Amino acid sequence: ESARKEGYPHFMLKEIHEQPRVIGDTIFGFSKDYEAAASTLASSGNIFITAAGTSFHASLYFSLLTARLAGKKVIPFISSEYESYANLANKEDVLVAVSQSGETIDTLMALRSFKERGCKIISLTNVIGSVISRESHLPVYMKAGPEIGVAATKTFTTQLTALTWLSSLVSFYTGKIGRDELSEIKGRIMKLPDLATRTISRSEGWARRLSQVISSRHSVYYLGRGLGLPIALEGALKLKEIAYVHAEGYPAGESKHGPIALVEPGFPVVFVSIEKNLERKLVGNIEEMKARGAFTIGIFGEQSELVSRVDERIIVPSSDELLLPVLETIPLQLLAYYAAVAKGYDPDKPRNLAKTVTVE
């Protein structure tokens, strides 16, 4: 086992560090299948997207991004809730099933019920030949390689990468952007491996230091707006999964409708900012938290105007809103990892969790 960890103390840390390479592999693997999936989506009726856990956060991101890039409505739902959505589906509709393992029973049940209603099924998985990919009409894949750590890391950032490309292709097939713009986007996505490498080296010390604060707290909020929301949700999930610190991800604007009641001096609140034009509103949310004595932490891109507004920050090396979701995920993964290690837990084997959930 120690050989397979290649010198890293845990698989999770190894897998975080593998991200630049496997994101590159995923980009290299953008095949004709992605084009077929996107052209199907562009000409479909309703689009639904379903997944569980981390894969759901990637799905929510796809829904938000596709609305922005292609002006297409994508209805995201958590797979175990499929009964509430399946009766809305018709023959012209498409379901996108997202699952790194391709074996999650909730997602498979959602897939089957939409398929029975005549919907076309597109899947995004990391495992060729997995049941979800076999049962879908159009399987596409990320190329993250096997993920051993129970907490999804590299499979999430490769899902984001794959779904950014899929969304851009939908925008092309709906006529929103032309071929030149599509290749320009591809060029931007291709910068991710290098930027991810730089983000990791920038975040290591920061995450180690801040994990000392986070690991001693009972509760942490992760707030974001727009494309920042799925990343905030993912940051919170990682922390609670492996460091057993209660963490909630919330839309920043919604925090004053309840969650703020818990905030007292020293309560950590992590702000994830992706979209420049939402920063003005995020300032208000930061101030609300600071007024209650919160310890504010920012995850920002270059050129963010929020840098001086928070107590602690990490700035990832880009200001490109298409790339920030992947890059801003990395410091959140490392923060959760070091918080778990600081508390003496094994981040690879969190209690009560299985890598693949095969019971409904």
Q: Tell me the catalytic residues.
A: 355
Nearer to ligand AGP, 56 or 295 (CB): 56
Stretch that binds ligand AGP, among 180-188, 203-211, 336-344, 352-360 (CB under 6 A): 352-360
**β-bridge partners, 287:** none
| Least distance CB 58 / ligand AGP (angstroms) | 9
What is the DSSP annotation of 183-250? Answer: HHHHHHHTTHHHHHHHHHHHHHHHHHHHHHHHTT-SEEEEEE-TTHHHHHHHHHHHHHHHH--EEEEE
| Least distance CB 312 / ligand AGP (angstroms) | 24
Binding mask 38-77 for ligand AGP (x = CB under 6 A): --------------xxxx----------------------
The tokens of 160 are what?
């984001």
333 binds ligand AGP (CB under 6 A): no
190 binds ligand AGP (CB under 6 A): no
Place of tokens 């983000």: 199
123 binds ligand AGP (CB under 6 A): no
148: nearest Cα among 346, 11, 343:
11
Number of amino acids touching ligand AGP (CB under 6 A): 16
HSE-CB at 313 with a 13 A cutoff on CA atoms is 18
| Least distance CB 99 / ligand AGP (angstroms) | 3
Residue showing the smallest CB distance to ligand AGP in the complex: 53
Stretch that binds ligand AGP, among 93-101, 203-211, 283-291, 333-341 (CB under 6 A): 93-101
Residue from 241, 248, 275, 321 in contact with ligand AGP (CB under 6 A)? 241
What is the DSSP annotation of 243-291? Answer: H--EEEEEEGGGGGGTGGGG--TT-EEEEE---GGGHHHHHHHHHHHHH
CA distance 197 to 11: 18
Check: CB of residue 336 under 8 Å from CB of residue 234.
Answer: no
The tokens of 71 are what?
């002006």
Nearer to ligand AGP, 107 or 318 (CB): 107
107 binds ligand AGP (CB under 6 A): yes
Residue from 19, 50, 99, 215 in contact with ligand AGP (CB under 6 A)? 99
Nearer to ligand AGP, 48 or 300 (CB): 48
DSSP state of 346: -
347 binds ligand AGP (CB under 6 A): no
CA distance 355 to 126: 13
332 binds ligand AGP (CB under 6 A): no
Residue from 41, 144, 150, 316 in contact with ligand AGP (CB under 6 A)? 150
Which of helix, strand or coil describes residue 30? coil
105 binds ligand AGP (CB under 6 A): no
Check: CB of residue 272 under 8 Å from CB of residue 299.
Answer: yes
From residue 340, give the alpha-carbon distance in Å to each of 226, 335, 343. 28, 9, 5
80 binds ligand AGP (CB under 6 A): no
348 binds ligand AGP (CB under 6 A): no
Binding site for ligand AGP (CB under 6 A): 52-55, 99-101, 104, 107, 150-152, 241, 353, 356-357
